[in-house]
Amino acid sequence: MATTRDWLLDDSPSSRLQARLGRSYRLSHALARNPLAMVGAIIVLTLILVALFAPWIATHSPIGQDLAMRLKPPSWDNWMGTDELGRDIWSRVVYGARITLMIVALVAVLAAPVGLIVGAVAGYFGGWTDRILMGITDIFLSMPKLILALAFVAALGPGIQNAIIAIAIATWPGYARIARAETLTIRNSEFVAAVELQGASSFRVIVNHILPLCTSSMIIRVTLDMAGIILTAAGLGFIGLGAQPPLPEWGAMISRGRSFILDQWWVATMPGFAIVIVSLGFCFLGDGLRDVLDPKHGDRQ
Amino acid sequence: MNALAIDNLDISYGDSKVTHGIGFNVAEGESFALVGESGSGKTTVLKAIAGMAKSWTGSISVFGAPRSHGIDRGFAKQCQMVFQDPYGSLHPRKTVDATLSEPLAIHGIGDSGARVDEVMQSVGLDRRFRFRFPHQLSGGQRQRVAIARALILKPQMLLLDEPTSALDVSVQAEILNLLKRLRREQGLTYLMVTHNLPVVSFLCDRLAVMRHGRVVEIADVDQLKRGALVDPYSRELTKFSAAHLQN
Amino acid sequence: MNALLEIRNLKVTFPTARGPVDVVKGLSLTLGRERLGIVGESGSGKSMTGRSILRLIRSPGQVTADEMTFNGTDLLSLSERQMRAIRGARISMVMQDPKFSLNPVMTIGDQIAEALLTHQKLARSDIRSRTLAMLEAVRINDPERVLGLYPHEVSGGMGQRVMIAMMLIPEPDLLIADEPTSALDVSVQAQVLEIIDDLVKRKGMGLILISHDLDLVSAYCDRILVMRSGEVVEECDAGELKNAKHPYTRGLLASIPRIDESRDELPVLERTGAST
């Protein structure tokens, strides 16, 4: 172990691979020293594991109804109780992790790159390109996220795919703004001037030199936004425009439990807990990543 | 043939003209300095030659070929630039190796491993620095990397923008020695912008003194050394530099 | 000569991944009402020394000293509040770049007046006349007009003179100038330094001039400390700098190009370790 560690921390790496691995090692080491970030990472990791191994972790079928077992409080058999159709809430929450993870991952995959590219292109070229791209961005930004997502879902029709698309459409403008702001500061730096002087094309400058510097703030921002995305998805589920029954989406579960909130608190509370814990997990992780990746502090580690 | 010929150059930023009728020639293999205080327009001239300041009128020609208003690949192989700030001119997330390989990739030149090795050796950078990030290097090492990056395309002319003003004096001496040796070994032409007259005296053959966007005097460096500059403003500049030294 | 500032065994320590690093290693100095220059290259600890006198070293940096007294007051035992009363009023500091030290949304007049008001109560007309007098003292030709300007409307040299006016208007006993002119053109440099010099002499203040420039420090100081990696390697009278004994100082002096340069190669300092 000691030798691997020395190899990773070597001040004079002898290959590209070693330099890159060394940097990742230093970053993860710094992240591990931040307790809140570790809590966040563990929560997010748990979410991923639960989603992957849902069939083994769940004790019942997430959609199997048993009207004889309606609205039972938490017990040895049903750890989180049962809902109004006699379905096991623990199993539904476990399967719900899959839906939440899918929403989060797809939104990140759709929205972050679009925002990144639009912002970088606008910031790099400036002038009319900037004005047009940022004009579009501002139109999207001027509307609250949930309302915008609502409008799109209403137009596209309810359903989980449409909810994901709607959330992605509502999220990218924020990333475009950040990417543009970062690009503007990078664009005038001397290292960009230096590659331009070597005859690099605009495409090359943006992709090889500007985007890599925007990504860390983007990763931080996306991680911090995850909580908001989960809440928006839950919100859409809650008003019936997101995942459709019988899919065990957490927001929709809360919505159905609302009618029993006074007498059978667990029906709405258990998925609520799941949302809060996962959102917090992403927030902690995002905060920790910011401490580690932020170029103002990170590289000195 | 002149490496660089500039005639009647007016550069403007927006509506305001920064330089007025600049003209000078730099012979091939010569080291020429543009001297002046901040706001004199000396750096702007360098930027116009490099293609970074795009709105100018007049003529600039490099090795006989007129310069366009932008940057083209042919020019990139002839002429490169070294910037003032060794902290800002290197990409913070790229290793020395990546920074030096990039120009080769742009121009589709193969054999990058050996070329990088060779150029690092010629600027006096040890091999163990090859895969370090800029934050793991000192100011002097960074400036060596910046010089290596400018040299890797084997240009004939270097534009030097205050290449040592951000460095400590002892490091400045090393970089100045390096620049002098490289010029001798590779027959380079230098155009250096600086406010530091002793540096001009060490590294250059001729100089042009600029003030408020105009060239007030072009002289041999011998004249500078003897304190025989003619223009009153040049004499004043010399006086300040010399005053420092006599105390 | 009674000592204005007395420092014994000053240490500034920063923790790093590889254990704590001393950036100042046991520096001692006694300062009267005189002009002391501290020279050194980057990383020599010269700026840290200046900042630690005003207790401006931010955590996690740590300052310790056997003694650090200013006019008989122990600076290390003062509360942060008492320290604020000393900063500006008794000890002032001029930093390198006026752009970062002036408040961009306040007029120059207001900023100078505030520097004065923080430490004294005065009538409005008094403030104005003292501000104008101070601007004149730093050789600003048209003080009435400059009072109403914002920092971005003045040149670098003018901005630095405004900074000096701000720092000197409460009439401190000690001025610490950390690279006060390195952001300025040579011709303006001389002007600014002469202003500082003149005011220091006239008001009988102590001055600590921190710079990387050996020539400049020897021109404007009485005594010089040469620092290298946290230690003082040489202490001498300014006039004696040419006859410096320590090889480091001699090496530094030799590595500066001269305006009548005839050497083909500049001598280079021997490096210790890998820090080129």
Q: What predicted TM-score, i.e. pTM, was given to this entire model? A: 0.83
Question: In chain B, which residues have their Cβ closer than 8 Å to the Cβ of C189?
Answer: 240
Helix (H) or strand (E) run with residue C174 in it: strand C174-178
Check residue A301 and give its pLDDT: 33
The verdict on residue C183 lying in a domain is yes
**Region A223-243 average pLDDT:** 84
* Domain count within chain C: 1
Check residue B193 and give its pLDDT: 94
Check residue B191 and give its pLDDT: 96
- pLDDT higher than 80, residue C18: no
- pLDDT higher than 70, residue A296: no
CA dihedral for B117, B122, B123, B129, sign (positive or negative)? positive
Check residue A238 and give its pLDDT: 83
**Chain C residue with minimal CA distance to B227?**
C260
> In chain A, what are the domain boundaries?
86-300
In one-letter notation, the amino acid at residue C265 is E
Check residue A268 and give its pLDDT: 86
Check residue B247 and give its pLDDT: 40
**Region C197-218 average pLDDT:** 87
Considering just the CA atoms, what is the radius of gyration of chain B in Å? 18
Distance CA(C115)–CA(C101), nearest Å, equals 13
Could you please report the per-residue DSSP string of chain B? -EEEEEEEEEEEETTEE---SEEEEEETT-EEEEE--TTSSHHHHHHHHHTSS--EEEEEEETTEEP-SS--HHHHHHEEEE-S-TTTSS-TTS-HHHHHHHHHHHTT---HHHHHHHHHHHTT--GGGTT--GGGS-HHHHHHHHHHHHHTT--SEEEEESTTTTS-HHHHHHHHHHHHHHHHHHT-EEEEEES-HHHHHHH-SEEEEEETTEEEEEEEHHHHHHT---SHHHHHHHHHHHHHHH-
**Region A255-266 average pLDDT:** 82
3-state SS assignment for residue A22: helix
Query: Residue-wise over B49-73: b if at least 16 C-beta within 10 A, else e?
Result: bbbbbeebeeebbbbeeebeeebee
Residue whose C-alpha is closest to residue A235's, from A85, A227, B63: A227
CB C92 within 8 A of CB C50: no
Beta-ladder partners of C227: C232
Distance CA(B178)–CA(B63), nearest Å, equals 24
Q: Give the phi and the psi of residue C15 in degrees, each rounded to 5.
A: -80, 140
pLDDT tens digits, one per residue of A14-58: 777 787 788 788 888 878 888 888 899 999 999 999 989 988 888
Between residues C276 and A180, the one the model is more confident about: A180
By the CB < 8 Å criterion, does A18 face chain B?
A: yes
Check residue A294 and give its pLDDT: 66
CA dihedral for A135, A141, A142, A145, sign (positive or negative)? positive
| Shortest CA gap B142–chain A (Å) | 12
Question: In chain C, which residues have their Cβ closer than 8 Å to the Cβ of B199?
Answer: 257
Check residue A60 and give its pLDDT: 80
Structure tokens at B236: 């004043």
Check residue C169 and give its pLDDT: 84
Chains contacting A (3 or more CB pairs within 8 Å): B
| Cβ neighbours of residue B243 closer than 8 Å, sequence gap 6 or more | C190, C219
**What are the angstrom distances between the C-alpha of C49 and each of B204, C37, C176, C209, C225?**
38, 12, 10, 11, 12
Can you give the length of chain B in residues? 247
Give the count of Cβ contacts less than 8 A between chain B and C.
Answer: 94
> In chain B, what are the domain boundaries?
2-246
Give the confidence band of A2 by pLDDT, cuts at 50, 70, 90. Answer: low
Residue whose C-alpha is closest to residue B89's, from B164, B158, B146, B160: B146
Distance CA(B134)–CA(B95), nearest Å, equals 7
- pLDDT higher than 60, residue C189: yes
Check residue C273 and give its pLDDT: 40
Beta-ladder partners of C209: C37, C177
Respond yes or no on whether the N-terminal peptide bond of residue A246 is cis (omega within 30° of 0). Answer: yes
CB B10 within 8 A of CB B56: yes
Distance CA(C29)–CA(C200), nearest Å, equals 19
Check residue B244 and give its pLDDT: 52
**Region C215-230 average pLDDT:** 89
| Cβ neighbours of residue A141 closer than 8 Å, sequence gap 6 or more | A173, A174, A177
Considering just the CA atoms, what is the radius of gyration of chain A in Å? 23
Query: What CATH superfamily is the domain A86-300?
Result: MetI-like (1.10.3720.10)
- pLDDT higher than 90, residue A118: yes
Between 3.30.70.1230, 1.10.3720.10, 3.40.1080.10, 3.40.50.300, what CATH number should domain B2-246 receive?
Answer: 3.40.50.300
The verdict on residue C272 lying in a domain is no
Mean of all residue pLDDT scores within chain A = 85
The verdict on residue C66 lying in a domain is yes
- pLDDT higher than 70, residue C53: yes
Largest CA distance in chain B: 54
Distance CA(A92)–CA(A106), nearest Å, equals 21
Check residue C274 and give its pLDDT: 39
By the CB < 8 Å criterion, does A273 face chain B?
A: no
Question: In chain B, which residues have their Cβ closer than 8 Å to the Cβ of A190?
Answer: 83-85, 88-89
The verdict on residue C264 lying in a domain is no
- A196·B106 Cβ contact <8 A: no
Residue whose C-alpha is closest to residue C91's, from C121, C59, C50, C140: C50
Give the confidence band of C158 by pLDDT, cuts at 50, 70, 90. Answer: confident
CB C208 within 8 A of CB C34: no
**What are the angstrom distances between the C-alpha of C243 and each of B247, C36, C225?**
13, 18, 14
Splitting chain B (247 residues) into consecutive groups of 10 residues, what average pLDDT does each group show?
90 87 93 89 91 90 88 88 89 90 91 91 90 87 93 94 88 92 93 92 94 92 89 86 54
- From start to end of C3-152, where are the E strands? 5-16, 19-31, 35-39, 62-64, 67-70, 73-74, 91-94
In one-letter notation, the amino acid at residue C32 is G
**Chain A residue with minimal CA distance to B155?**
A198
Residue whose C-alpha is closest to residue C34's, from C224, C220, C195, C222: C222
3-state SS assignment for residue A61: coil
- Nearest CB to A198; choose among B91, B106, B135: B106
CB C183 within 8 A of CB C121: no
Structure tokens at C114: 């505030």
Percent of chain A, pLDDT > 90? 24
Domain with C115 in it: what CATH number?
3.40.50.300
Residue whose C-alpha is closest to residue C98's, from C52, C65, C138: C138
- A198·B153 Cβ contact <8 A: yes
Q: Which of B141-150, C40-49, C87-96, C249-258 has the highest mean pLDDT?
A: B141-150
ipTM over 0.85: yes
Substitution target in B143, B168, B229, B237 with the highest count of C β-carbons within 10 Å is: B168
